[in-house]
Amino acid sequence: MKPERCFAVCLADIDELADSLDTATADKFADFEKLSDETIQVHGKDALRYEYTFTSELDVTVREQIVIILAGDKVFHIAAWADDADFEQIRTDLGEIVDSFSF
């Protein structure tokens, strides 16, 4: 089985995906803080919206939001990040990008 197919099959449950991200992401970033995770629908497909902050190597607090959409044997990963203080300026754009997906 190809790795991308295994990812979709192995992480077909959104709750399991959120739990996996909690563990994997916290280990990769300094000062990791999960802000939210939410199960959403993107044009009828299950998706996870996951938002967190961390401190970069340049000592900047970064906020990132990722949306992972499970669509059959495909997984779409959309991410946006910015300085924590500036993130609200890109939130609407990210929402429009996610809403533009159709399957």
Q: What is the CATH number of the domain that holds 18?
A: 3.40.1000.10
Percent of the chain exceeding pLDDT 90 equals: 62
Q: Is 78 in contact with 67 (CB distance < 8 Å)?
A: yes
Give the span between the Cα atoms of 51 and 84, in whole angstroms. Answer: 11
Using a 10 angstrom Cβ sphere, with 0-12 exposed, 13-18 middle and 19 or more buried, the burial of residue 68 is buried
**Model confidence band, residue 22 (pLDDT cutoffs 50, 70, 90):** confident
Give the structural domain span for 65.
3-99
Closest to 69 measured CA to CA, from 25, 17, 29? 17
Q: pLDDT class for 26, splitting at 50, 70, 90?
A: confident
Contact 48, 65 (CB under 8 A): no
User: pLDDT-derived band of residue 12, with 50, 70 and 90 as boundaries?
Assistant: low
User: Mean pLDDT, to the nearest integer, of 9-21?
Assistant: 71
Q: How many CB atoms lie within 10 A of CB 99?
A: 10
State residue 4's pLDDT score. 45
Three-class DSSP category at 32: strand
Provide the number of structural domains found in the chain: 1
pLDDT of residue 3: 43
**What Rg value do the Cα atoms of the chain yield, rounded?**
14
pLDDT in tens, 27-69: 888 999 999 999 999 999 999 999 999 999 999 999 999 999 9
